Chain A
Amino acid sequence: MAKHPRIDLRPSPYIHSPLTVEKIMRNVVYALLPLVSFSVWQFGISALALILVTTFACLGTESLFCRLSGKANSLKDYSATITGLLLAMTLPPGFPLWMGAVAGFVAIAMGKTLFGGIGFNVFNPALVGRAFVQAAFPVAITTWTPALAPNRFVEFIPSTLALPFMKPAATAEWSAHVVDGFSGATPLALMKFQGIMTDSQSLFLGLTDGSTGETSALLILLCGGYLMWRKMLDWRIPASVIFGTAITAAVFYFYDPSHYPSPAFMIFSGGLMFGAVFMASDMVASPVTPLGIFIFGLLVGFLTVIIRLFGGLTEAVMYAILFGNAATPLIERYTQPSIYGARKKEDS
């Protein structure tokens, strides 16, 4: 034995699971990449530009605040990257880039840094950014452009390049020009205002118009499934959101099927699937207790349907999740797990 080997002292346990925050976040980015690619394929260079702008806005804001607060640079934990990608996916593909940058800034500055950085945010930062631009730019955020436009890889959607605070170019004409008869309405709007149901299959495959990334339920499920399989995403959250949506929608549907959409439509339309799998499951802003997770999911699903039917459209999922985030501390408080060997009141 060597004469004076050094002894390292450290408390137990001395081994650790290979899963780290950095690894989880990195894999979430991986899981988002197919969705990002799909939306670029669907919407062309405008979507690509938007995704890049929001992501870099988030990264830039994060590093700015890190420098201001003198904290170690937290870019390497990928969470700002995720916020940027998530944010882009919830915006309309022709969303003006400068507005995208504002959204990214607000997401990190107000959604995350204000609360103290990673781990302390009460709300999903991407949704905070989105909620801000929803209020600030109500027109731009509800201006939809057609998917799969033939010239999408060579030409920007006119609104994309709008200058700050200028009236964006009229997108509607452009849309009508590139795709004959484009109505500018998403399947949800068609359902609500014109009573037209898009069939669930095209919704499922994502061949419809909508936000940049919220359209292909199938792809979302595959990417989310990868994360769930790697134990990096808690399957219980999406499952209970979808369940909550389904039963709420079912109640209305059975009450009056001619008036209200079917549960399948509710699940596969708009941003529900994306919201359930990638947004509601933001670990920091959702409960940790098993019962709490279930209640949170049900609540988000329930609110989504209610807001869609009786309130706004595009923002239903977003508000439902933000509300769920806000309710999280309260939910957790009343859903603490009952421990092994708990004694009944009288004998303790």
Chain B
Amino acid sequence: MGLLDFFSRKTFPHGIHPPEYKAITQHKKTLRLPFPERVILPLAQHIGAPAIPIVHKDQYVVRGELIAEPSENALSVPIHASASGSVREIDLMPGPKGSKVMSIVIDTDPSSPQIPVSGKCQDYTRMTPEQIINAVKQTGLVGLGGAGFPSYAKMLLPKDRRIHTIVVNGCECEPFLTTDHRIMLEKVDDLIRGIQIAMKAVSAERSIIGIEDNKLDVLEAISPRLPADGRIQIEAVETKYPQGAEKMLVKSLLGVEIPSRGLPSEIGLAVFNVATLAEMGRLLPRQQGLIERIITVTGDDLTHPGNYVVPVGTPLQDILDNAGFTGQEAEIILGGPMMGLPVASFETPVTKSTGGVLILDQHAYKPKDILPCIKCSLCLQACPINLNPSELGMLANKRRYDVMEAQYHLNDCFECGACSYVCPSNIPLVQYFKIAKTLNRERHIQNG
């Protein structure tokens, strides 16, 4: 990497440069945590209809066994037991979004060797795209980068659409988080296999892995192992938040824009997160279900921050115990500090799309008084979508939610939080926008 190269690194306009805080965990190899006493598996860990339980109370299940089937008529994926043990209950439990959600609770069997069941080995190179897509659905795989969109659904295309390029998102632009980084160093074969599976499923000609230039060690790890045919490439882009948003990464790597409120497939692209593809590459050949994932446990008040493999459904309590949480008062966040969700209960489980558990105490930003907008235009210079958060914020203050939507593109805001981050008046802009969107949705429903 020459100096010139560094300065001409591809990127997207606007965005912000928050401190990275990745040094806490980025050099820590992923370790497996002991099985928790109990796992809590929400039926809806994905965008779409909740899965339907096929087990009953007190039934003994084996790790990897199918316990909930996808709902038939809608977007949905199955759920597999992440630990051997008996079903304690199927009931409302605290979910990652705050409200209680229907979940299957399994009491782990301490005497079980916890060997996962798997199906027959399958060779994806001999499967048709339809077979692959169906097999991906059976793994229960969803986007592991946070959104939880069922992975198979990204590969199902309307007749008139074709995907020529798969963009593999290895940016991990959220501060603190390092799971994707570790996966790209430790699971290169799974990742490359996953990319090839996805390419085959959508008949893509090529794919390109995009990483931020704060992870150049990944280039060294992956480049030599890329297939010789050159159909998979890797490229570093500028380290800047929110580089890992699919719209931004596509712009940075390929110079194209995903149409407003449209899908990448409209311009012949599909975007997958590296963790998702690495799981695809691991699970699909063995016909296994998604039962564990890697998370970063990081932040303040921890004696053992690190990257850990945990069964899906592990309650936060167990994770914090293992990571040596010593705090008295803290903020606990599922995900990163920019877009993560605050949690209110130590019973909240890690789900398929939880990328990290972040504890903020000393690093927490203590919000001060909210001042009026001084029109400094910093938020406009931060917004990667090129919205006008200043105007949107003032409209929100006046409760002009309809105008925000009709004239100021409220619905193009993807809630990255860059505007709130920079606002010197401490205006919780993104919070306003989330509220406005919710109220607009309700209004539209009422109006039919």
Q: Which residues of A contact B (CB under 8 A)?
A: 1-2, 5-17, 19-21, 23-24, 72, 77, 116-120, 231, 234, 283-290, 293, 332, 336-343, 347-348
B342 within 8 A of A: yes
Known: A1-B321, A287-B377. 10 other contacts (CB 8 A): A1-B325, A7-B343, A13-B430, A15-B19, A21-B424, A119-B375, A119-B425, A283-B374, A337-B380, A341-B258
**Which residues in A have their C-beta under 8 angstroms from that of B363?**
15
**Which residues in A have their C-beta under 8 angstroms from that of B324?**
1
Nearest CB of chain A from residue B295's CB, rounded to whole Å: 17
The listed residue with most B CB atoms (<10 A of its CB), out of A23, A287, A339, A341, is A341
Nearest CB of chain B from residue A6's CB, rounded to whole Å: 4
Give Cα A293 to B380, complex, Å: 12
**Which residues in B have their C-beta under 8 angstroms from that of A284?**
374-375
Nearest CB of chain B from residue A287's CB, rounded to whole Å: 8
**Which residues in A have their C-beta under 8 angstroms from that of B16?**
17
Known A5-B329, A6-B329; contact A13-B374, beta-carbon cutoff 8 A: no
B311 within 8 A of A: no
Contact assessment for A340 and B260 in the assembled complex, using a CB-CB cutoff below 8 Å:
yes
**B299: nearest chain-A partner, CB-CB:** A14
Nearest CB of chain B from residue A192's CB, rounded to whole Å: 35
- CB contact between B387 and one of A21, A24, A339 (< 8 Å): that residue: A339
Contact assessment for A11 and B327 in the assembled complex, using a CB-CB cutoff below 8 Å:
no
**Which residues in A have their C-beta under 8 angstroms from that of B369?**
72
Contact assessment for B388 and A283 in the assembled complex, using a CB-CB cutoff below 8 Å:
no
Q: Jot down 20 A-B pairs with beta carbons below 8 A, ordered by A.
A: A1-B320, A7-B331, A11-B430, A13-B417, A14-B340, A15-B337, A15-B363, A17-B421, A20-B368, A72-B369, A118-B371, A283-B376, A283-B377, A288-B375, A336-B407, A340-B257, A341-B260, A341-B262, A343-B262, A348-B260
Contact assessment for B421 and A117 in the assembled complex, using a CB-CB cutoff below 8 Å:
no
**B346: nearest chain-A partner, CB-CB:** A7
Contact assessment for B342 and A12 in the assembled complex, using a CB-CB cutoff below 8 Å:
yes
Nearest CB of chain A from residue B232's CB, rounded to whole Å: 26
Q: Which residues of B contact A (CB under 8 A)?
A: 16, 18-19, 175, 247, 251, 257-262, 317, 320-321, 324-333, 337-346, 358, 360, 363-365, 367-369, 371-378, 380, 384-388, 390-391, 407-409, 412, 417, 420-422, 424-426, 428, 430-431, 434
**Which residues in B have their C-beta under 8 angstroms from that of A347?**
259
**A340: nearest chain-B partner, CB-CB:** B385
Contact assessment for A118 and B372 in the assembled complex, using a CB-CB cutoff below 8 Å:
yes
Contact assessment for B260 and A15 in the assembled complex, using a CB-CB cutoff below 8 Å:
no
Give Cα A5 to B251, complex, Å: 43
Contact assessment for B337 and A12 in the assembled complex, using a CB-CB cutoff below 8 Å:
yes
Contact assessment for B328 and A2 in the assembled complex, using a CB-CB cutoff below 8 Å:
yes
Contact assessment for A14 and B364 in the assembled complex, using a CB-CB cutoff below 8 Å:
yes
Contact assessment for B430 and A12 in the assembled complex, using a CB-CB cutoff below 8 Å:
yes
Give Cα A250 to B341, complex, Å: 57
**Which residues in A have their C-beta under 8 angstroms from that of B434?**
11
The listed residue with most A CB atoms (<10 A of its CB), out of B259, B332, B344, B374, is B374
What total of A-B pairs shows CB separation below 8 Å?
177
Give Cα A118 to B374, complex, Å: 7
Contact assessment for A14 and B365 in the assembled complex, using a CB-CB cutoff below 8 Å:
yes
Nearest CB of chain A from residue B259's CB, rounded to whole Å: 5
Give Cα A332 to B388, complex, Å: 10
Give Cα A114 to B16, complex, Å: 36
Give Cα A119 to B397, complex, Å: 13
Contact assessment for B325 and A24 in the assembled complex, using a CB-CB cutoff below 8 Å:
no
Give Cα A283 to B425, complex, Å: 13
- At the interface, is chain A mostly helix, strand, loop or mixed? loop
Contact assessment for A10 and B342 in the assembled complex, using a CB-CB cutoff below 8 Å:
yes
Contact assessment for B331 and A343 in the assembled complex, using a CB-CB cutoff below 8 Å:
no
Nearest CB of chain B from residue A265's CB, rounded to whole Å: 31
Give Cα A205 to B421, complex, Å: 40
**A2: nearest chain-B partner, CB-CB:** B328
Give Cα A12 to B332, complex, Å: 11
**Which residues in B have their C-beta under 8 angstroms from that of A288?**
375-377, 380, 388, 390-391
Contact assessment for A338 and B365 in the assembled complex, using a CB-CB cutoff below 8 Å:
no
- CB contact between B388 and one of A5, A336, A348 (< 8 Å): that residue: A336
Contact assessment for A13 and B339 in the assembled complex, using a CB-CB cutoff below 8 Å:
yes
Contact assessment for B431 and A339 in the assembled complex, using a CB-CB cutoff below 8 Å:
no
**Which residues in B have their C-beta under 8 angstroms from that of A348?**
260
**A231: nearest chain-B partner, CB-CB:** B378
Contact assessment for A19 and B426 in the assembled complex, using a CB-CB cutoff below 8 Å:
no
Give Cα A299 to B349, complex, Å: 58
Contact assessment for B388 and A337 in the assembled complex, using a CB-CB cutoff below 8 Å:
yes
Give Cα A70 to B278, complex, Å: 60
**Which residues in B have their C-beta under 8 angstroms from that of A2?**
326-328
**Which residues in A have their C-beta under 8 angstroms from that of B384?**
340
Nearest CB of chain B from residue A228's CB, rounded to whole Å: 13
**Which residues in B have their C-beta under 8 angstroms from that of A120?**
372
Known A337-B386, A337-B388, A341-B412; contact A12-B377, beta-carbon cutoff 8 A: no
**Which residues in A have their C-beta under 8 angstroms from that of B328?**
2, 5-6
**B381: nearest chain-A partner, CB-CB:** A290
Contact assessment for B371 and A119 in the assembled complex, using a CB-CB cutoff below 8 Å:
yes
**B414: nearest chain-A partner, CB-CB:** A340
**Which residues in B have their C-beta under 8 angstroms from that of A341?**
247, 257-262, 385, 412
Give Cα A17 to B381, complex, Å: 14
Contact assessment for B251 and A340 in the assembled complex, using a CB-CB cutoff below 8 Å:
yes
- CB contact between B330 and one of A7, A24, A119, A339 (< 8 Å): that residue: A7
Give Cα A221 to B261, complex, Å: 44
Give Cα A289 to B420, complex, Å: 17
Nearest CB of chain B from residue A282's CB, rounded to whole Å: 9
**Which residues in A have their C-beta under 8 angstroms from that of B325?**
1, 5
Give Cα A16 to B345, complex, Å: 25
Known A6-B328, A7-B332; contact A119-B372, beta-carbon cutoff 8 A: yes
Closest 6 A-B residue pairs measured CB to CB? A119-B372, A13-B417, A288-B377, A6-B329, A16-B365, A341-B260
The listed residue with most B CB atoms (<10 A of its CB), out of A17, A77, A231, A340, is A340
Give Cα A284 to B390, complex, Å: 11
- CB contact between B367 and one of A10, A118, A119 (< 8 Å): that residue: A10
Contact assessment for A8 and B331 in the assembled complex, using a CB-CB cutoff below 8 Å:
yes
Contact assessment for B380 and A340 in the assembled complex, using a CB-CB cutoff below 8 Å:
no
The listed residue with most B CB atoms (<10 A of its CB), out of A17, A72, A289, is A17
- CB contact between A15 and one of B175, B345, B368, B377 (< 8 Å): that residue: B175
Give Cα A285 to B374, complex, Å: 9
- CB contact between B409 and one of A16, A119, A339 (< 8 Å): that residue: A339
Contact assessment for A15 and B387 in the assembled complex, using a CB-CB cutoff below 8 Å:
no
Contact assessment for A283 and B375 in the assembled complex, using a CB-CB cutoff below 8 Å:
yes
Contact assessment for B386 and A338 in the assembled complex, using a CB-CB cutoff below 8 Å:
yes
Nearest CB of chain A from residue B343's CB, rounded to whole Å: 7
**B380: nearest chain-A partner, CB-CB:** A288
Give Cα A118 to B332, complex, Å: 35
